[in-house]
Structure 1
Amino acid sequence: MSLDGKVAIVTGSGKGLGLAYAQQLARQGAAVVVNDVDAEAADQSVSAIEAAGGRAVALVAPVGPTETAEALVATAVERFGRLDILVTNAGILRDTVLWKMSDEDFDTVVNVHLRGTFTTVRETVRHLRQAGEGGRIICIGSPTGQRGNFGQTNYAAAKAGIVGMVRTWALELKRAGITVNAVVPVAATAMTATVPYFAAAVRAADQGEPMPDFFRHDLGFGTADDVAGLIAFLGSAAAAGVTGQVIGVGGDRIQIWTHPEAALTAYHEGGWSYDALTAAWPTQFADALQSVGERFPELPEEFRTDAS
């Protein structure tokens, strides 16, 4: 097995995508520290892994506080003797438009996603650097962090921030042999179940039926298990040369996202004054402006509902 003898931490792994990641890592031979705020879900996740022949232990605690990060690393080392892989998956949503978003809405989401990723990675890296055997850090991003999404100021900020940290950490940890990557999953989860556009795909997944090709192929939208293979790959020796990347995955599709680059570069002797910009903008710059938000093809008639 590709991860035989390795030990992984997966935050937010009581259900959904995190559960699929934990199960796939265990299937490939890794022992897993399951983390969730829901004790029942965490225990069920551990039971499912053990029933399939894997090894797992649960730690019930919210990510964000440094104390949780310390407890996660300590649990891995005390229970399984080492730590090799971290997957920062834990997340929460508090969606609303900017002018209605409260301080609490913003802080809660940023604390779990952004600070939770920071504190957990920091503690893991401290251990990995001291152990001196390299390691794998896999942080979970989102299309919202790449493109923006209506009503998700807090979530977009956190997920974009995670990608920024991943690129920085890849530079800082290269000499230690620790790879750091971001995965952008697109899958049927509790978060996507409320989006009418995906209703037919989510319904098929819930009923254990094959997901229509339009969703799996054209949209790259699939099940949690479709994402888990990439997580295990990035945690393995086969991905030793992969770091600092943002990789999208879902359904039958995988994507490597570009890093931000200038879409256009122009010069004006003496600098760009107001008058110079006003004169040049329509012909030199307007066509280079970038779109925002995710772009979906028109939903085929057979998958439409009144809400979509």
Structure 2
Amino acid sequence: MDLTGKVAIVTGSGRGLGLAYARELARHGASVVVNDVDQEAADEAVATITGDGGRATAVVAPVGPTETATRLVETAVESFGRLDVLVTNAGVLRDTVLWKMSDEDFDTVVNVHLRGTFTCVREAATHMRSAGEGGRIICIGSPTGQRGNFGQTNYAAAKAGIVGMVRTWALELARANVTVNAVIPVAATAMTDTVPFFKQFSDAADRGEPVPWARRVLSFGDADDVAGLVAFLASDEAAEISGQAVGIGGDRLALWSHPDEVVTAFQDGGWRAESIAAGFDALFGRRLQQVGQPMPEPPADALPGEGKR
């Protein structure tokens, strides 16, 4: 993947997955605009990338406002002369069950993830269409947005909305040779470390212990396991790929399906409540769709260290 001469913006790239994406893009030759709300994290990210021989600069600002999106694109053009790639990664969590979720909890997460993706993509797409040289837009989704997750109403709504926007933007930007795709990552981060089930595996990996069951069955690895997909989708090799949701994590690479009708049935004259009630179980009962991420019980020998039973 040769990205020499390309310029990328990665939101939320001061640490974690975003930093891994920024470093991987730089490793393949791209100049990177790092973004974070934390000045120290942003400065450290730039120092890491330049220390590795890459080119980077930082914009310290929260995503969501149009002003931040404008500043990011202007910085890319002013610092490096162009814009080829946008990765919308910035995000926050405010997890709690529906009946305890405040308006602020909901609005904060939706503003950063959903509005932040919208404003940044709108600004980048406007520039890319005007420049006439195509481009790559990569939006970060989540398994929660694909299947739901307990306690994450706000996050699920935002991430599902992102994938819906990706499909729409892929249609709208096709004539401009701008591809738009979603990445659905699974990786050890500060967010997953709040979940004891996942933390035991990330802790084991940090100690250098192999965790093959988690990598294969849970698709659970580290941020570097995800970053290669972002570099690929940013490259010329992915010029014909657009409107897709691609999952990655641990040892797994997967293509998510678009929502589609699973079973259809017809009745002359249409359906009424009584006829639906009479036929629903026979028609659909065995094909009802699962909600939430399946969490298989690990065998005893898959549990790391002290977690083994």
Bin of the TM-score, shorter chain as denominator length = over 0.9
Could you tell me how far apart the structure 1 residues matched to 2:161 and 2:278 are? Answer: 36
Partner of 1:79: 79
Query: Which consecutive segments of 4 or more residues in structure 1 shift more than 6 A?
Result: none
Could you tell me how far apart the structure 2 residues matched to 1:130 and 1:292 are? Answer: 42
Encode CA deviations 1:163-182: one digit per residue, 9 max, x unaligned. Answer: 00000000000010000000
8 Å CA contact retained: 2:187, 2:250: yes
- Please tell me the residue identity of whatever aligns with 2:146: Q
- Please tell me the residue identity of whatever aligns with 1:79: S
TM-score between both structures, scaled by the size of structure 2: 0.97
Could you tell me how far apart the structure 1 residues matched to 2:88 and 2:206 are? Answer: 25
Q: Percentage identity across aligned positions?
A: 68
**1:289 Cα offset (Å):** 1.2
Could you tell me how far apart the structure 2 residues matched to 1:276 and 1:143 are? Answer: 35
Go from structure 1 to structure 2 and tell me whether the alpha carbon gap of 1:211 and 1:200 turns closer, same or farther (over 3 Å shift). Answer: farther
* Most deviating of 209-218 and 94-103: 209-218
Encode CA deviations 1:210-256: one digit per residue, 9 max, x unaligned. Answer: 54100111221111000000000000000001100000000111000
5+ residue gaps, structure 1, are none
**1:206 Cα offset (Å):** 3.0
- Please tell me the residue identity of whatever aligns with 1:38: D
Partner of 1:113: 113
Could you tell me how far apart the structure 1 residues matched to 2:151 and 2:15 are? Answer: 25
Partner of 1:20: 20
**1:200 Cα offset (Å):** 2.6
Could you tell me how far apart the structure 2 residues matched to 1:274 and 1:188 are? Answer: 47
- Please tell me the residue identity of whatever aligns with 1:163: V
TM-score between both structures, scaled by the size of structure 1: 0.97
Partner of 2:223: 224
* Most deviating of 282-291 and 218-227: 282-291
Partner of 1:262: 261
8 Å CA contact retained: 1:217, 1:252: yes
- Please tell me the residue identity of whatever aligns with 1:127: H
8 Å CA contact retained: 1:8, 1:31: yes
Partner of 1:148: 148
Alignment partner of 1:193: what SS? helix
The answer on 1:97 being equivalent to 2:97 is yes
Could you tell me how far apart the structure 2 residues matched to 1:155 and 1:192 are? Answer: 14
* Most deviating of 192-201 and 161-170: 192-201
Partner of 1:279: 278
Encode CA deviations 1:150-206: one digit per residue, 9 max, x unaligned. Answer: 000000000000000000000000010000000000000011112122133210233
Alignment partner of 1:19: what SS? helix
Aligned length: 307
8 Å CA contact retained: 2:66, 2:120: yes
8 Å CA contact retained: 1:13, 1:22: yes
* Most deviating of 290-299 and 39-48: 290-299
Could you tell me how far apart the structure 2 residues matched to 1:210 and 1:84 are? Answer: 39
8 Å CA contact retained: 2:226, 2:248: yes
- Please tell me the residue identity of whatever aligns with 1:296: M
Partner of 2:53: 53
8 Å CA contact retained: 1:188, 1:205: no
Q: What RMSD over aligned residues (CA atoms) do the two structures have, in Å?
A: 1.5
Partner of 2:2: 2
Could you tell me how far apart the structure 2 residues matched to 1:143 and 1:3 are? Answer: 28
